[in-house]
Chain A
């Protein structure tokens, strides 16, 4: 059973870079069968797809965030990473990592981690 666990700073200052990791267990992040993604949810609001990554394949980003986002993987650590630059208060959200063998939806989800952007 694939398990995902997000981690990272809970507080980031405006204009700085948000960096999160997602630790993967029960499966291999280097498996080309899986798609790995990041989704976020501002407090009290809906879900927003940030991007998806397939090892050995392509990385896809939400056009609204593309200029600021990088998703990558560290296979030695079995971790998926998210980097979001030049953050503002609008980037305050619970950030989830997720996975599936399909690129179209996500069956496996982490518990999410709240990131607040504030000085």
Chain B
């Protein structure tokens, strides 16, 4: 089973700053198997990025994903007030299907 690790645990930034969130897999995974979600308090997760670098419908282009193998990154180029939330990476494993989430990174207002 592939384990996902996210860092940092908490990121304290100001609006307008750039946020770089990391997700590491315990073994190499296909880029087509990695997704990112945003979750705000009291809300369901929201799919941001799928297949490592593809924005989901309605996601602004200031949010981007990259990476391959074991190292993946979610970047928010300029933080807007609505971007302060918890972010989870998630990977898909096959044979049989198994979805696992990382522990999350909280982006808080500095």
Contacts and interface: CB of A to CB of B under 8 A. Distances in A.
Number of chain A interface residues as a range:
20 to 34
Number of chain B interface residues as a range:
20 to 34
Given A105-B47, A107-B57, A62 B88 contact: no
Contact of A49 (B33, B39, B47, B101): B101
B101 A47 contact: yes
B64 interface: no
Contacts, number: 61
Nearest to A112: B44
B87 to A, nearest CB: 11
Interface of A: 37, 39, 46-49, 52, 58, 60, 62-63, 96, 98, 100, 102-107, 109-112
22 contacts: A37-B99, A46-B88, A47-B88, A47-B101, A58-B96, A60-B97, A62-B98, A63-B1, A103-B92, A103-B97, A104-B33, A104-B50, A104-B99, A105-B35, A105-B47, A105-B50, A105-B90, A105-B92, A106-B45, A107-B47, A111-B43, A112-B44
Interface of B: 1, 32-33, 35, 37, 39, 43-47, 50-51, 56-57, 88, 90, 92, 96-104
Given A60-B96, A62-B98, A105-B47, 10 more contacts: A46-B101, A47-B37, A49-B100, A60-B98, A63-B98, A103-B97, A104-B32, A104-B51, A104-B99, A105-B90
Shortest Cβ-Cβ A-B pairs, 10 listed: A104-B92, A109-B44, A60-B97, A105-B35, A49-B99, A47-B101, A107-B47, A105-B50, A46-B103, A46-B104
